[in-house]
A and B are shown apart, each in its own frame.
Chain A
Amino acid sequence: MTMIVQSEVKKRTSSGVHQKLLAFASLIIMLVFFSLASSNFLQTSNIIGILQATSVNGVLAVGVTLVIITGGIDLSVGTLMTFTAVIAGVVLTYLGMPLLFGIVAAIGAGAFCGFISGTLVARMKVPPFIATLGMMLILKGTSLVISGTKPIYFNNTPGFSQISTGSLIGQVFPFLPIPNGVLILFVVATVVAFILNRTALGRYTFALGSNEEAARLSGVDTDFWKICVYSLSGGICGVAGLIIASRLNSAQPALGLGYELDAIAAVVIGGTSLAGGRGSILGTIIGAFIMSVLLNGLRIMSVAQEWQTIVTGLIIILAVYADMVRRQRT
């Protein structure tokens, strides 16, 4: 029996690449547009500002990409990020422990909260939207309680601000003062892309979103792997918490709400399907850059804050609509 499917396969892959090219092209067009529209746009300080802004949202978006590929959603990433920053503040400033302990505590706390969300979703069958909505509120409240609603400053830990604002690359190549936050974003993205495409965890992440029942019937411990995904995503939120706390040199307990929607927007613009089963880290990174370039560019062109928000909303809808149109055609 000859069943040849190569030709169809080629069509598929090209359409997947096509989609990323489309997002990438939009990013380039935006960059060109804003540099022509404003001479301030390409200045080093502005570029670094964009990179700084992308590092936080980008890391969060990478984490939430994993959850979305399983067919779930994580609304708690914003307040979880803040919670991990507060934990770092407690360990470093209140307890006066060395820097490394603060880093481990923040990432560990993130992973632990992710583990709880994952357990709620996988073992207790609470819908992801509800489980993480609950976690979002719980973490917001807990951050305020622990910190006594006041910011925690990291003045006793001199190296802390270097996590985000220092530049290892700049020390080696003085003409490239890329902040460490961005370096961390690319390290996190590379590691997660490796996990997603090369390891069993990644394979099962796609399998869960594609057909969870089929994976279960094939003998995959779907609950276990789902909890792993949420835990990993939570740990990544811890990284984001360290970056933002380092940049502000403080843990701001009231911050965080709203970050989850920016992260989900970046994921969606990057072409990951909210229905699960499909998505990529590269797409998410491009999506995160599109978001921050857009906001920065509008700000530099003195577009009022309210209008920036409206444009962002329109871009999200447009990106997903373009993806739907493309998908229906294939």
Chain B
Amino acid sequence: MVELIRLESIDKHFPGVHALKSVSFDLQTGEVHALMGENGAGKSTLMKVLSGILQPDGGTIRVAGNDVTIPSPHAAQALGIGMIHQELALMNDLTVAQNIFIGREPRKRFWRLDEDALNEAAREIFSAMNVSIDPRAEVRTLSVAQQQMVEIAKSLSHKSRVLVMDEPTAALNDREVHELFTIIARLKSEGVGIVYISHKMDEIKRISDRVTVMRDGAYVGTVSASETPISKIISMMVGRELDNTQADIPDLSGAPVALEVRGLSRGKEVQNVSFSLKAGEILGFAGLMGAGRTEVARLIFGADRRDAGEIIVHGKKAAIASPKDAVSAGIGYLSEDRKHLGLALGLDLAANVGLPNLGRFSNGIGVIDDAKLGSIARDYIKQLGIRTPSERQEVRLLSGGNQQKVVLAKWLLRNCDILIFDEPTRGIDIGAKSEIYRLMQALAQQGKAIIVISSELPEVLRLSHRIAVMCEGRLTGILPGGRETTQEEIMHLATQRRVEIGGEAA
């Protein structure tokens, strides 16, 4: 084994955050080196430094024994470092082959691009991967799994000696994961070094040689994957023994049904989804990326038009055709993407809280009673523990967790008793997370009916009284919450596809 990469004492500051604190990392030829840590631990930041997207404030990068600087993604490629991003970085309007070879298209005479050579080269890569994707297909027509394969093909086409994979299996089913691991094994045997970022312990055990753990931007340690028990790795990640808190399931047998959904459908995204939710209940929605969970929420909230299905609120059929209807039926939706969909970032906290409620704060001719709005906003700041200098603070200056609380205040003020949380803790640090959890549990105790959509299984397990699992637009099962359910059971339902991809597209 020869050393491919050595990162030494890498430092990186963002405004207000010390994102990387003197982190070191190395990679040998023919090795899969897993990089683990909770969200926000700095894994992705470190890899962005390695692939030239971010510049470190301090430290040295050595590639194949030489000190280098990596000023751009292009420079990283030239050094043989390829990265497969967590958020797929493909151009939807271009074809598969055009995406793979973007930036280094084969040329013919008269500045022409050699499209045939391009498609042929792409076909060769796919056949070597044992994947059949049409190189001439537009990327927008592919499934998420297929797009993932295109990303991998793209990295392979660079003849990279170092491949960084950031959660490559997030959208893959078991069989596709198996194929990916076969590809990884072959790359390994060819001497490629792979940095593998994942949260899935079984995967780490299966394919990696060494595991490096990061926590809060700092290096924790590097251990051998085969000799270290999972519990040890987890305790390195969380810095404490695993918190085994599970949801306390309240007895809801006497509670009234707050929301019932029957036969909800929209195209391929949502197919015949039915479930019910009681007052005081927290229903978790689990599933892979693109399973249709957010789409279900958007249908219930009236943000998209449904093809079929009934929504019954407190026993009465609700005619929900727009978010306005949903809000008047008492449904609040805390969107996945707070910044784009949930908040007016340039406005202050009070204005955001008042936004869907302005009718109540304005007189006959529509002039807003600022004083009244301000005092209500201050009440919520106290009640929800929002950390802000005042209710006049612009929302964009608040942290993610506090922004989330502002969205929540907005809906509480509107008397919403059915609350849909879509990825409520994405991009929120660990401390603020547990605060949001407590808040949700308190709301449930007050009798609010809550839906939580989350891609983090521990989060779903910790919060949910029952767990609905979706796969490819269908509800594949509803599991009991608490100790009775394991992550494996959820994953099984989340990957229970009706037909394999090939059959469906044909």
A→B interface (CB under 8 Å): 1-9, 12, 198-200, 203-204, 206-207, 209-211, 213-221, 277-278
Instruction: Say yes or no: A277 contacts B74, CB within 8 Å.
Output: no
Residue of A nearest to B178 (CB): A1
Shortest distance in angstroms between B140's beta carbon and chain A's nearest beta carbon? 8
B142 touches A215 (CB 8 A): no
**Chain B residues with CB below 8 A from A12, complex form:** 138, 140-141
Contact A217:B89 (CB < 8 A) given known A4-B132, A7-B506, A207-B102: yes
B307 within 8 A of A: no
Chain B contacts with A in 176-214, Cβ cutoff 8 A: 176, 179
A219 in complex: contacting residue of B72, B130, B143, B179, CB < 8 Å: B72
How many angstroms from the CA of A218 to the CA of B505 in the assembled complex? 28
A226 to chain B, nearest CB (A): 14
Q: Is B340 an interface residue (CB 8 A)?
A: no
B137 interface hit (Cβ, 8 Å): yes
| A277 cross-chain contacts in B, Cβ below 8 A | 91-93
Q: Assess the A9–B89 pair: CB atoms within 8 A.
A: no
Contact of B91 among A1, A4, A7, A215 (CB under 8 A): A215
Closest 4 CB pairs of A and B: A219-B74, A210-B91, A277-B93, A214-B89
Q: A12-B138, A219-B104 are in contact. List 4 more A-B contacts (CB 8 A).
A: A1-B179, A5-B134, A207-B91, A220-B102
CB distance from B199 to the nearest CB of A (A): 23
* Cβ–Cβ < 8 Å partners of B72 in chain A: 219
Query: Is B111's CB under 8 angstroms from A220's CB?
Result: no
For B137, list chain A residues within 8 Å (CB).
Answer: 5-6, 8-9
Cα distance, A221 to B73, chains bound together (Å): 10
Nearest CB of B to A83, in Å: 29
Contact B138 A211 (CB under 8 A): no
Q: How many angstroms between the C-alpha atoms of A1 and B177 in the bound complex?
A: 11
B149 at interface (Cβ–Cβ under 8 A)?
Answer: yes
Shortest A311–chain B CB gap in Å is: 32
Q: Mark B106-120, 1 if CB is under 8 A from A, else 0.
A: 010001110100000
Provide the bound-state CA to CA distance between A219 and B79, in Å: 12
- Asked whether A215 lies within 8 Å of B130 as measured between CB atoms, the reply is no
Given A8-B505, A206-B91, decide whether A218 and B103 contact each other with a Cβ distance below 8 A: yes
State whether B89 touches A213 (Cβ < 8 A): yes
When the two chains form their complex, are residues B103 and A209 in contact, meaning their CB atoms are under 8 A apart? no
Q: Say whether A219 contacts B77, CB under 8 Å.
A: yes
**Bound Cα distance A206, B92 (Å):** 10
Which residue in B77, B179, B505 is a CB contact (below 8 Å) of A7?
A: B505
Across-interface contacts of A217 in B (CB, < 8 A): 53, 73, 83, 85, 89
Cα of A1 to Cα of B133 in the assembled complex, Å: 10
- Take A214-B90, A218-B89, A219-B72 as given contacts and tell me if A3 and B131 are in contact as well, using a CB distance cutoff of 8 Å: yes
Contact residue among B113, B142, B146, B505 (Cβ-Cβ distance under 8 Å from A200) = B113
Q: Which listed residue, B73, B85, B112, B141, touches A9 by the CB 8 Å rule?
A: B141
Residue of A nearest to B114 (CB): A198
- Contact between chains at A5 and B85 (CB < 8 Å): no
Expressed in whole angstroms, the minimum distance between the Cβ of B335 and any Cβ of chain A is 21
B430 at the interface (CB under 8 A from A): no
Residue of A nearest to B112 (CB): A198
Contact indicator per residue, chain B 214-252, by CB within 8 Å of chain A (1) or not (0): 000000000000000000000000000000000000000
CB pairs A–B below 8 angstroms (24 shown): A1-B501, A2-B500, A3-B146, A3-B501, A5-B141, A5-B505, A7-B505, A8-B505, A9-B134, A9-B136, A12-B140, A12-B141, A198-B115, A199-B111, A203-B102, A203-B105, A203-B113, A207-B102, A210-B93, A211-B89, A218-B89, A218-B103, A219-B77, A220-B102
A11 to B141, CA, bound (A): 10
